[in-house]
Structure 1
Amino acid sequence: MKEQLIKAMQYKQLVTIMYISKSGEIAKRRVKILKMEGDKFQAYCFARQAKRTFIINNVLAVLPIIGKEKKII
Structure 2
Amino acid sequence: MRGKLLKTMRYGQLIDIIYLSKSGEVTKRRIKVLKLQGESFQAYCLTRHAKRTFRIENILGCIPVMNRKKDII
Q: Would you say same fold, with TM above 0.5?
A: yes
Find the counterpart in structure 2 of residue 11 from structure 1: 11
Runs of 4+ residues over 4 Å off in structure 1: none
* Aligned-pair Cα RMSD in Å: 1.6
Q: Rg: which structure is higher?
A: 2
Q: Distance in 1 between matches of 2:60 and 2:7?
A: 16
Q: CA deviation at 1:14?
A: 0.3
Q: Which secondary structure does the structure 2 equivalent of 1:61 belong to?
A: strand
2:69 corresponds to 1:39 = no
Aligned length: 70
Deviations 1:21-45 (A, max 9, x none): 1110111100000000000000000
What is residue 2 of structure 2 aligned with on the other side?
A: 2
- TM-score, normalised by the number of residues in structure 2: 0.89
TM-score by length of 1: 0.89
**Fraction of identical pairs, as percent:** 54
Unaligned runs of 5+ in 2: none
